[in-house]
């Protein structure tokens, strides 16, 4: 089976600081991978380079077996054009820690803007699809509300509907509950849980919620200093971590929960 996403020896640097260090990673279609690890280890950077919010300095990222950051020219790969990147990036949706809704647009407008502008949907089609998605995330009765009139949990549910409105095949979640008050975490996790149960999406989830990662992920990756130190199926990974650094991290995190 062709991986949905493949990082081949990807290096990302900020100046002299190497954040991703020759990263190799393959993710299967429909797989939900949770990325955990200490702060500053490069977890968010994995998502940001996939979303092409950041350039990489070395290596190649493939989507569906096609070079994403590069294109084939004869026998070599050369950096891709913006048009090529945009085309493949349309398969990817991202949900941010801080929601990032358009503040001057209502819930409904947030969910129809990009489908109309970028996918070329008619307004009626976009509205119909947005309403379905807002109902799915339990926000159907708030379509005229502006982000400032919504709680953090509600804003994040709208942000998920907005990402889905672009019909992505890959969903990236960057600590989607870490900016929320504790009582709102559950409602957002519930939406992600229902998406995870469908298996039509390939999902990458950066999270500090170990219990949730264990429950929904097909695979857990422990990230440290720009590399994967250990990975495994959630039950094995959490009950019997092999690497001393994974053990130390899990002990620390689970103690503070
Ligand atoms: P994590 O998600 O694991 O907390 P990040 O991927 O956000 O880690 O960051 C990894 C490292 O990259 C950190 O040391 C961070 O300071 C650095 N970094 C992230 N973004 C930038 C940037 N725009 N400029 C310089 N350094 C950055």
Sketch the domain layout of the chain as residue ranges.
Answer: 93-168
pLDDT, tens only, 71-119 = 888 889 888 888 888 888 899 999 999 999 999 999 999 999 999 998 8
User: Which pLDDT score is estimated for 69?
Assistant: 86
- Residues 61 and 42 sit within 8 Å (Cβ to Cβ): no
Measured between alpha carbons, how far is 63 from 172 in angstroms, rounded to an integer?
14
- Residues 234 and 194 sit within 8 Å (Cβ to Cβ): no
Ligand 1: residue of 40, 57, 174, 253 to mutate (most ligand atoms within 8 A of CB) is 40
Measured between alpha carbons, how far is 160 from 155 in angstroms, rounded to an integer?
9
User: Which pLDDT score is estimated for 257?
Assistant: 62
SS3 175: coil
User: Which pLDDT score is estimated for 192?
Assistant: 94
| Closest residue CA from atom 24 of ligand 1 | 14
Residues with a CB atom less than 6 Å from ligand 1: 14, 19, 37, 39-45
| Closest residue CA from atom 14 of ligand 1 | 40
Residue 30 backbone class (left: φ over 0; alpha: ψ -120 to 50; beta: rest): left
N residues, the chain: 257
Query: In the predicted model, what is the mean pLDDT of the chain?
Result: 93
The rounded Å distance from CA 19 to ligand 1 centre is 7
Beta strands 170-174; 92-95: pairing state: parallel
Note if the pTM is more than 0.85: yes
* CA–CA distances in Å: residue 122 to residues 114, 219, 252: 11, 39, 51
């Amino acid at each position: 089976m062709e991986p949905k996403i493949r990082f081949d020896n990807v290096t990302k640097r900020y100046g002299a600081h190497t954040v991703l260090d020759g990263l190799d990673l393959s993710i299967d279609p429909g797989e939900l991978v949770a990325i955990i690890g200490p702060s500053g280890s490069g977890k968010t950077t994995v998502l940001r380079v996939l979303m092409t919010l950041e350039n990489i300095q070395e290596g190649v990222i493939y989507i569906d077996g096609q070079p994403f950051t590069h294109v084939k020219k004869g026998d070599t790969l050369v950096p891709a054009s913006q048009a090529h990147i945009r085309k493949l990036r349309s398969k990817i949706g991202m949900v941010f820690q801080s929601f990032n809704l358009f503040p001057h647009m209502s819930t409904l407008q947030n969910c129809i803007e990009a489908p109309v502008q970028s996918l070329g949907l008619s307004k009626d089609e976009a509205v119909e699809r947005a309403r379905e998605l807002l109902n799915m995330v339990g926000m159907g009765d708030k379509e005229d509300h502006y982000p400032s009139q919504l709680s953090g949990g509600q804003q994040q549910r709208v942000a998920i509907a907005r990402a889905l409105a672009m019909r992505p095949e890959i969903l990236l979640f960057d600590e989607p509950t870490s900016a929320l008050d504790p009582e709102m975490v559950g409602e957002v996790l519930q939406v992600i849980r229902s998406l995870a149960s469908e298996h039509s999406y390939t999902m990458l989830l950066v999270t500090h919620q170990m219990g949730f990662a264990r429950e929904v992920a097909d695979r857990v990756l422990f990230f440290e200093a720009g590399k994967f130190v250990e990975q495994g199926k959630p039950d094995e990974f959490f009950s019997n971590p092999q690497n001393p650094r994974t053990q130390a991290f899990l002990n620390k995190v689970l103690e503070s929960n």
